[in-house]
Structure 1
Amino acid sequence: MSTLRRAAVLGSPIAHSLSPALHRAAYADLGLEDWSYDRFEVDEAALPGFVQGLDSSWAGLSLTMPLKRAIIPLLDGISDTAASVEAVNTVVLTEDGRRLGDNTDIPGIVAALRERGVEKIESAAVLGAGATASSALAALAEICTGPVTAYVRSAARADEMRDWGGRLGVDVRIADWAEAEAALHAPLVIATTPAGATDALADAVPAVPGTLFDVLYEPWPTALAARWAEAGAGVVGGLDLLVHQAVLQVEQMTGQDAPLAVMRAAGEAALGGRTPGVSG
């Protein structure tokens, strides 16, 4: 007799999350007819009650903002990867009742870059200094052999990036956002900023740029990504990251190999049928 298995993405806001489309497509392809994947609007105050109410039918959770740190005290353990950036985006509920946290954003970044042929680089630039930037630094710790220059808007953000660099073993150098055009000459540029923040840099894209990883997927392409592609250079987008991290989540929750191409197609179809809104 089959047993219903549940999973979901939690966050606030959550209405525009693509995660249900990706996970449901994976379940359908894998023949997991008794698996469901939903989305729940949950903020930090409501999170403990939600987690406490999970029963044995639950296989896992995906976490988006603002819950990636708030979830940690509610877990029985977290992976070294999650601990390295103090952020959990994946919770697996084991058969013996434990709640284990992981971070699939970091290996997702590495996998998305590897898919586009970027496996080792000598230096990189990071635009922005928020939560995604710390995951970018953790990924760069694996593939970058030299310095990473972070372009930031405030002294407080600069201190945070230096701290993350020290913890992750990355040689982080700080530059002011006003100098961000210089970032575009790096072999790899990772843009972690909100929509519109890099639009003014589009006209400064060099004739022969390296690789751009823009973590946004809506709206897409960004002005910077469009100009980068026009120059004939490699562009990795936020959907690439979302799909690769979701593949790892599906595999951890179900124990089966996830269908990357099927999940990507589902994400592209979902984006094609909606109006711009909050991503997650």
Structure 2
Amino acid sequence: MIFQDKRYIVLFLAPTMLLLAIFLLYPLGQSVYYSFTDWYNFSNTKHFNGLANYRQLIADPVVGIAFKNTFILVIGAVLLQAGGGLVLALLTDSIKRGFKFFRTVFFFPIVISGTAIGLMFSLIYNYDYGLLNAVMRVFGWGEQVWLTEKSAIYLVLIPILWQYVGFYFVIFLTGMSKIPEEIYESATLDGITGYRRSIYITIPLLRDVIASCLTLATAGALKVFDVVYIVTKGGPLNSSELLSTYMYTKAFNGQNAGYASTIVIAMMVLGIVITVALNRLVKKDAVG
């Protein structure tokens, strides 16, 4: 082997580990520390307050709403982003003509910034000059407020989920291209065709890719901020608040960085729990 001496391995890994420590581990450690302080207004004064921020987190009703909405977003990302990407990849893989066209169309939303997408959908939902109410007026139907307390979180999920379906579509399509054609030929000889080929051949061979996409979808959903903040700013009445938007509000509008750090830790724990659960589910199915 070329790298029999482990010193070479350490030498090549050192820059990556250093960057990881500086930009990930150190900020994470700082956030954990700040979550136990009453750090206000980003001042130089920080006082240790024990578990006060965590008790406030448990008692805060807005955090409950944000947790619920974030969980809805994560489930939506897993089912509609990753799941939708898989379905589109399976359908597109069976198309012989126009393959490149569909691949480009589905991938296109990814190159648009979240800010631009948020602005576009805020205009679509606008009561006075939005696209939806314009269509309602054309057909003689009454105008309505689209972003209400009950509907805001679901309407704001549409652009978020739509933006990244193409991302997972391309990942699954790439994974499917690596499956040996001989396997499909053998399946055809055994009478396994159509949707049965996808269920019994393609999807089982994509388990590792599916597990990776579930992890990416979970992490991506927890990081969503720009679209929600532009479209609703977490409103009306905190009904579309996510942990990310509430953390921003507390840190920069409420000037309570200590409590905002506590929300960050809650986001991290939620992400770890969901990711571990999803990966165990995939591995369990693989064993079964």
Do they fold alike, i.e. is TM over 0.5? no
**Structure of larger gyration radius:** 2
Q: RCO (CA 8 Å, sep 6+): is it higher in 1 or 2?
A: 2
Q: What TM bracket, shorter-length normalisation?
A: under 0.3
TM-score, normalised relative to structure 1: 0.25
TM-score, normalised relative to structure 2: 0.24
* Structure with the bigger percentage of strand: 1
